[in-house]
Amino acid sequence: MADNRKFIAMIVSEENGKFIRRIGEKSIDDLPAGEVLIRVKYSSLNYKDALSASGNKGVTRRYPHTPGIDAAGIVEESSDRDFKPGDKVIVTGFDLGMNTSGGFQQFIRVPSDWVVNLPEGLSLKESMINGTAGFTAALALFKLESLGLVPSNDEILVTGATGGVGSMAVAILAKAGYRVTASTGKTDKENYLRTLGAKVILDRKDVDDPTGKALQPTRWGGVIDSVGGNTLATALKYTKYNCSVAACGLTQSPLLNTWVYPFILRGVNLLGIDSAHCSMEIRELLWNKLANEWKPSALDLMKQECTLEGLNEKIDAILKGKITGRVVVDLE
């Protein structure tokens, strides 16, 4: 039976080689097949969404498209008995917002094995302050800890620290008892980073070694990097014996030109972080941690809110590295 219920969505379309974003109307029938129809209350903006919204075919192959890799809302209909109307749920990653119509609209329909129940201790809005950024930071810490990291006096470096993943990493590490050193290009954000829990703030130039040397004196007990490129290569050179670097992102560069020496002379580990395809078992475990022992006290400080109408300018800003913290999109 046709379902013509209408709702509001961001629609990105390709017109004469240009990508145009507009806010328009869609109906339930426009959504892809899936077991769970969700009334989206909040979404959030991630760097990947901005790529999708500006025509990056590595993220989204087909347009017109609705981006949004994150969504939190209420189950409207479900053909899977694990979910029932009224359940509060979160969807992040998998193919949401990439080639599957995403969270920048008032309804999504997705496979039930993408859906996580909202854990106790988090509101729907708080889950989207975290969003993929918080989940990625949590996955990075989880992997670092699985290789032996524990709180100590060692400094843990977070790069791109005022960004989404960076801000969440600083706050989660601090909440978990680590000594955080944050590097940033936004030197006027020192107070912000200190309030999130960073003890030392560095200019991003200080963690981007131009010398070409293979190794540098050790400093970091662990690293969460969302920047990639020479900053990631630099982090490896300064990492202590048998410690680990979690590679999350590429805002500086997707290329990694590095030496083998940190790995074979210092036992340094380079950990790959892929939040999109993380197993459901780890997904649920990490969302529970984000709702409890890793829930930052300064969650609200990281948040700026906008509606679908205001999202356009935030997308342009995140592409220029100009967003501090997290943008929550209110779809109510």
Which residues contact ligand NAP (rule: CB under 6 A)? 46-48, 132-133, 136, 160-166, 184-186, 204, 226-227, 231, 248-252, 273-276, 318, 321, 323
Rg of the Cα trace of the chain? 20
Q: How many other C-beta atoms are found inside a 10 Å radius of the C-beta of residue 310?
A: 13
**Whose Cβ is closer to ligand NAP: residue 231's or residue 244's?**
231
**Whose Cβ is closer to ligand NAP: residue 178's or residue 192's?**
192
**Whose Cβ is closer to ligand NAP: residue 172's or residue 323's?**
323
**What phi and psi values does residue 245 have, to the nearest 5 degrees?**
-120, 125
Q: How many other C-beta atoms are found inside a 10 Å radius of the C-beta of residue 309?
A: 10
CB of 173 to ligand NAP, least distance (A): 15
CB of 127 to ligand NAP, least distance (A): 15
Round to whole Å and give the CA distance between 23 and 133: 25
* Single-letter residue type at 145: E
Nearest in space to 132 (alpha carbons), one of 51, 236, 30: 51
**Whose Cβ is closer to ligand NAP: residue 28's or residue 276's?**
276
Q: ∠ at Cα 82 (79, 84), nearest 5°?
A: 65
Residue that has been written with the tokens 């630099």 in this structure:
234
Helices (H) and strands (E) counted in the chain, each on its own, are 8, 15
CB of 255 to ligand NAP, least distance (A): 12
Q: Provide the Cα torsion 140, 142, 146, 152; round to 10°.
A: 90
CB of 305 to ligand NAP, least distance (A): 15
Helix, strand, coil percentages in the chain from 3-state DSSP, rounded to 5: 30, 30, 40
**Whose Cβ is closer to ligand NAP: residue 166's or residue 197's?**
166
Q: Point out the residue whose Cβ comes nearest to ligand NAP.
A: 163
Round to whole Å and give the CA distance between 132 and 93: 7
Structure tokens at 164: 């989404």
CB of 317 to ligand NAP, least distance (A): 9
**Whose Cβ is closer to ligand NAP: residue 75's or residue 315's?**
315
CB of 108 to ligand NAP, least distance (A): 19
**Whose Cβ is closer to ligand NAP: residue 119's or residue 249's?**
249
CB of 5 to ligand NAP, least distance (A): 32
